[in-house]
Amino acid sequence: MSSALLLHGRDEAPQPDDARLAAVTVEIDDEAVRQWLLAEAVDLWSDTDAGPTLSVVLDAEALAQLQARGAAFELLSADIEADAAEERARLRGAEAARPGSWFSEYRDFATVDAYLDTLAARSELARVEHLGVSTQGRPIRALRISDAPQGAPAIVLNGGQHAREWISVMVATCIADRLVTDAQVDPAVQGLLARNTVWVAPVINPDGYVYSWESDRYWRKNRQGKHGVDLNRNWSVGFGGRGSSSNKRSQIYRGPHAFSEPETRALRDLIVREPVVAHVDFHSFGQLILYPWGYTKKPAPDLDRLASLGRSMAAAIEATHGEVYRPMAAQDLYTAGGTALDWSYGERSAMGYTIELRPSGGNGFVLPPEQIVPTCDEGYAAVRSMAAQMEL
């Protein structure tokens, strides 16, 4: 073999016959680049196709073309299927023998759902409530934690609208665990629960979550029909607007009409039934704290208050492990119609937030399990700070 061929063989640049799929975040300084990327992308990892950056999955050929264009981009993962395979292998091993904390590893739907019963058995203040049934017939359940009188203000926390965002499921469950535990020892939590009812629904999209565990790690939507519906475009405030799609194949397909999906109806019905004053919808990734509006560029009537609470949450998060989460009105990042935060605020006047958890970039949705507990510290700090600032 000639030295020239050897050099070529060592070349780091992906070759056209390379089957790997890479995830990148690209700065969009030119709409032509956006259109090209969206046409080439195998998957969209950004929560929108309209933001100042785009996180997309590209095959090796498209990645080589991106490099040739000289576009500024960050490589999130050189091989997303290898990331998923590594995680899968680790989880298989974990089933047999991984002692230690429940939060030292990601947990599948049945295990998370059963853990709600474990928490309810641990505390007189907690009980499991049935919110609804998914498209494929799985239960959507929440832990209700309260020492407050009937009709007390309610705080709703949820994870898992998007199936592949596993850390959101773990953080919601972990916050429920912390509240149940701290209710026995922490006067601030005792006071919070004496005056309010906290609802924690870790898995709003159980079918998608199961599918992400069993079939396609990067599945986002629910399991309606062949292509699924993006639940966080299925809410009625701003439904059908920008940042959502009528194309069933799109990752941001909004469904045929608002609340067409049993999963969004289940969470909506809870928020309608209870006097909800705050709602935090956990997602990943990006380390952002988003507040209304998302569907319009108009400022929300309570923008100052929403922003002030967002800043206090960001400060509380940074105080735990030094991680920076950027607070902003969702519209400042992108316009997205039909999201939960706009609905909770617009229809119920609740302080509505989307928190995009770790990582800021990293491997995107595949977050190392060692980061579950620190990310929970951040989510819990944010919720406590919000409650304290709202004098709940």
- Under rule CB under 5 A, which residues in 309-368 are in contact with Zn ion? none
Instruction: Give the distance from CA 277 to its chain's centroid.
Output: 21
Residue 356 annotated among the catalytic residues of the structure:
yes
233 binds Zn ion (CB under 5 A): no
Instruction: Answer for the pair 287, 360: CB distance below 8 angstroms, yes or no.
Output: yes
Between residues 41 and 62, which has the closer beta carbon with respect to Zn ion? 41
Among 17-25, 152-160, 262-270, 277-285, which window interacts with Zn ion (CB under 5 A)? 277-285
**For 25-30, which contacts have Cβ atoms below 8 Å and span 24 or more sequence positions?**
25/53, 25/54, 25/55, 25/73, 25/74, 25/76, 25/361, 26/53, 26/54, 26/55, 26/56, 26/66, 26/71, 26/72, 26/73, 27/52, 27/53, 27/71, 27/72, 27/73, 28/52, 28/53, 28/54, 29/72
3-class DSSP assignment, residue 237? coil
Using CB under 5 A as the criterion, what x/- string covers residues 162-201 for binding Zn ion? x--x------------------------------------
- Residue tagged 């785009």 (tokens): 54
DSSP alpha helices (H): ranges in the chain?
Answer: 3-10, 31-40, 60-69, 80-96, 109-122, 166-182, 187-195, 206-214, 262-273, 303-321, 330-333, 340-348, 372-389
Between residues 165 and 207, which has the closer beta carbon with respect to Zn ion? 165
Between residues 66 and 288, which has the closer beta carbon with respect to Zn ion? 288
Between residues 189 and 357, which has the closer beta carbon with respect to Zn ion? 357
Q: How far apart are CA 340 and CA 323, in angstroms?
A: 25
- Residue tagged 């919720």 (tokens): 383
Q: Which of 105, 263, 356, 378 is catalytic?
A: 356
State the minimum distance, in angstroms, from the CB of residue 356 to Zn ion.
7
State the minimum distance, in angstroms, from the CB of residue 104 to Zn ion.
24
State the minimum distance, in angstroms, from the CB of residue 234 to Zn ion.
13
Among 136-144, 276-284, 364-372, 379-387, which window interacts with Zn ion (CB under 5 A)? 276-284
State the minimum distance, in angstroms, from the CB of residue 146 to Zn ion.
28
Classify residue 197 by its DSSP letter: E
283 binds Zn ion (CB under 5 A): yes
Using CB under 5 A as the criterion, what x/- string covers residues 129-168 for binding Zn ion? ---------------------------------x--x---
State the minimum distance, in angstroms, from the CB of residue 162 to Zn ion.
3
State the minimum distance, in angstroms, from the CB of residue 226 to Zn ion.
21
Q: How far apart are CA 65 and CA 33, in angstroms?
A: 11
- Under rule CB under 5 A, which residues in 14-73 are in contact with Zn ion? none
Residues at the contact surface with Zn ion, assessed by CB under 5 A? 162, 165, 283
Active site residues: 356
